[in-house]
A and B are shown apart, each in its own frame.
Chain A
C-alpha cells in the first residue's frame, strides 16, 4: 500500500497520451477499412475513407497527432485501495503539460473569461479526471481525446419531444438519436461513433454518454433491449445517406453504444455524445509485483 503512495507514473501517463493522440485503436481502423469496401468505387465517400486510413498510418509512423485538434483529454481512473488520487491528479496534469511540449497535444485549454490559452493543456477542471475506487488490486486508466468539432454537434434531448413524436420510452430514444445524427450531418467529422445515455440528471447523463465511447465497437450490450436498439440505430443512421464528411454515402455511423441511468420521475433525458472517426482512446494497467511495477498499454 505504501508503494502506491510513492509511485511516480508521470512518464507512463505521457506515453498513454502519446498513444491516444497518435495511434487509432485497432477496432476503429478495422471498421473504417470495412466501410471503405462498402462505398461506391471512385466515390468521394470512398476517397475520404482512403485518405483517413492513410492519415492514420502516417500519424502512427511519425508519432504525430492523428488530428490537429487533440481535444479535451478525459481520464477515467479505476484505482485500488491505498492509491492517492491527489498524487495521481498532479502526475496527470504534469504529464499533459509535457505531452504538449512534445507536440503530441495542441495547447487547447482556454480561459473562458480572459480568453487566454494556458499553453500547456492545464486549467480549471482541465484535463477532465474521473476517479473510482474498485475491488481489484491494480490501477486501470482509460483516456479519450474528445475533439471540438464533434463536441459541438453533441446534444441533449428532454423527452417527451412533441416535434419528433418522441415519448418516454425506447422508441422515443430511437427518434431523438436519429434526429441528432441528421442535425450533425458531416460536421462532426463523420463517420462517427455515438455514445448515448438515457436518464440521469443533465450532467450525469452527458458523462455516462461519453463513457459509452470507451466500449469496443464489437462488444454486445448486456441488456438485450439496449443491444437491439444499438443495432437498429446503427442501421437506420446509415440509411440517412450522410456519408463520410457529409459527402453522401453508406457510412455515417461506425458504432452506437447506449447506457442507462436511473432518473427522476419528472425527467427523461437522452444525451448523445458524438465522436468523430478519430475516436482516440487508449488505456493503461499498472500492477505492483513485489518490487516491480508492471505497466501494460492497450
Chain B
C-alpha cells in the first residue's frame, strides 16, 4: 500500500507496479472529453491567446507532477457560492486515448485516474515520462465524493458541470495502478489470460 501526495516525484512513480493500491492526496483536477480536446487545441498544438495565458500558467503549475481525473461529477452549489461533490466515480478513459499521451508529456503529468484502462500510446507515454494509470473503482461514487475534501476552483464552466475542469483537494482517494511506468498493463495481461481460458472452455462441450 502506498500513500502519495501531489506533486508526485519520478522516483515515487518508478516505485509503483501494476496491482499496487495507492491512496492519493493533495490537489488534482478533473478533465474529460471537452477538457482534453481544449488543452490539445489551445495549449499544446496551438499557442495560448493573451486571454487564455493566465489559465495556461495555472494549469502548468497544477499539472507539473500532478494528476488528472476522468470524471463528470454530480455537484452541489452552496448558498455562500462554494461547491461540493455529491457523487464522483470515474468515467471510461479510453475516449481520451487520442489526447492523453500528449497531455502527459506537455504538462509533465505523473498520473491519470479513470476506469477501464487505456491503450498503447498512453502506455508508451507512461514509460517515457514516467507516469502511471490509476484505476478508480467504477461505481464507487459516494465513497470517492467523501474523499473530495474541498472544491478549490473550477475552470471552463462553459463546458457544463460534467465536462468542466474542477480543481479538488482529495484525501486518501483509493486507486489501483493498472498501467505502470515499466510497460506493464493489467488490462493487456487479463485480456490475454482470459482469452486462453475462453478457448479452453469452448474446446469442451
CB pairs A–B below 8 angstroms (24 shown): A52-B140, A54-B143, A55-B140, A64-B86, A64-B145, A67-B139, A67-B140, A68-B88, A68-B89, A69-B89, A69-B139, A103-B76, A103-B86, A175-B202, A178-B202, A182-B194, A185-B187, A185-B194, A240-B198, A242-B190, A245-B135, A246-B116, A246-B190, A247-B176
Q: Which residues of B contact A43 (CB under 8 A)?
A: 19
Report the Cα distance A58→B138, complex, angstroms: 15
Q: Which residues of A contact B141 (CB under 8 A)?
A: 55, 59, 64-68
Q: Mark B140-156, 1 if CB is under 8 A from A, else 0.
A: 11111110000000000
Distance in angstroms from B149 CB to nearest chain A CB is 15
Report the Cα distance A239→B143, complex, angstroms: 30
By the criterion CB–CB under 8 Å, are A277 and B139 in contact?
A: yes
Which residue of the partner chain, among A51, A179, A247, A276, contacts B186 with CB atoms under 8 Å?
A247
In B106-136, the 8 Å CB interface with A consists of 115-117, 135
Chain A: CB-nearest residue to B75:
A103
Report the Cα distance A174→B202, complex, angstroms: 9
Distance in angstroms from A66 CB to nearest chain B CB is 6
Query: Is residue A78 contacting chain B, with contact meaning CB distance below 8 A?
Result: no
Main secondary structure of the interface of A (DSSP, over half): loop
Report the Cα distance A179→B202, complex, angstroms: 9
In B19-77, the 8 Å CB interface with A consists of 19, 21, 72-74, 76
Report the Cα distance A220→B115, complex, angstroms: 34
By the criterion CB–CB under 8 Å, are B205 and A171 in contact?
A: yes
- Kindly name the residue among B137, B138, B174 whose own CB sees the greatest number of chain A CB atoms within 10 A: B138
Which residue of the partner chain, among A65, A147, A182, A245, contacts B142 with CB atoms under 8 Å?
A65
Query: Is residue A164 contacting chain B, with contact meaning CB distance below 8 A?
Result: yes
Q: Which residues of A contact B101 (CB under 8 A)?
A: none
Q: Size band of the A side of the interface? A: 35 or more
Query: Is residue B87 contacting chain A, with contact meaning CB distance below 8 A?
Result: yes
Q: Which residues of B contact A186 (CB under 8 A)?
A: 116, 138, 187, 190
Q: Mark B158-196, 1 if CB is under 8 A from A, else 0.
A: 000000000000000010101000000011011101110
Q: A65-B87, A67-B141, A106-B74 are in contact. List 12 more A-B contacts (CB 8 A).
A: A44-B186, A66-B141, A67-B89, A106-B87, A149-B92, A182-B194, A182-B195, A182-B198, A186-B187, A186-B190, A240-B197, A247-B176
Known: A67-B141, A149-B138, A189-B138. A48 touches B189 (CB 8 A): no
B-binding residues in A (CB < 8 A)? 43-44, 47-48, 51-52, 54-55, 58-59, 62, 64-69, 103, 106, 147, 149, 164-165, 171, 174-175, 178-179, 182, 185-187, 189, 236, 239-243, 245-248, 276-278
Chain A: CB-nearest residue to B190:
A248
Report the Cα distance A69→B138, complex, angstroms: 10
Q: Which residues of B contact A246 (CB under 8 A)?
A: 116-117, 186-187, 190
By the criterion CB–CB under 8 Å, are A58 and B174 in contact?
A: no
Report the Cα distance A55→B88, complex, angstroms: 11
Distance in angstroms from A152 CB to nearest chain B CB is 8
By the criterion CB–CB under 8 Å, are B198 and A178 in contact?
A: yes
By the criterion CB–CB under 8 Å, are A67 and B143 in contact?
A: no
By the criterion CB–CB under 8 Å, are B74 and A68 in contact?
A: yes
Chain B: CB-nearest residue to A58:
B142
Q: Which residues of B contact A54 (CB under 8 A)?
A: 140, 143
Which residue of the partner chain, among A44, A51, A68, A171, contacts B73 with CB atoms under 8 Å?
A68
Report the Cα distance A217→B44, complex, angstroms: 51
Report the Cα distance A247→B140, complex, angstroms: 16
Q: Which residues of A contact B76 (CB under 8 A)?
A: 103
Distance in angstroms from B115 CB to nearest chain A CB is 7
Q: Which residues of A contact B195 (CB under 8 A)?
A: 182
Q: Which residues of B contact A241 (CB under 8 A)?
A: 190, 193-194, 197
Distance in angstroms from B138 CB to nearest chain A CB is 4
Q: Which residues of B contact A276 (CB under 8 A)?
A: 138-139
By the criterion CB–CB under 8 Å, are A52 and B142 in contact?
A: no
Report the Cα distance A1→B15, complex, angstroms: 71
Distance in angstroms from B194 CB to nearest chain A CB is 4
Q: Which residues of A contact B174 (CB under 8 A)?
A: 47, 51
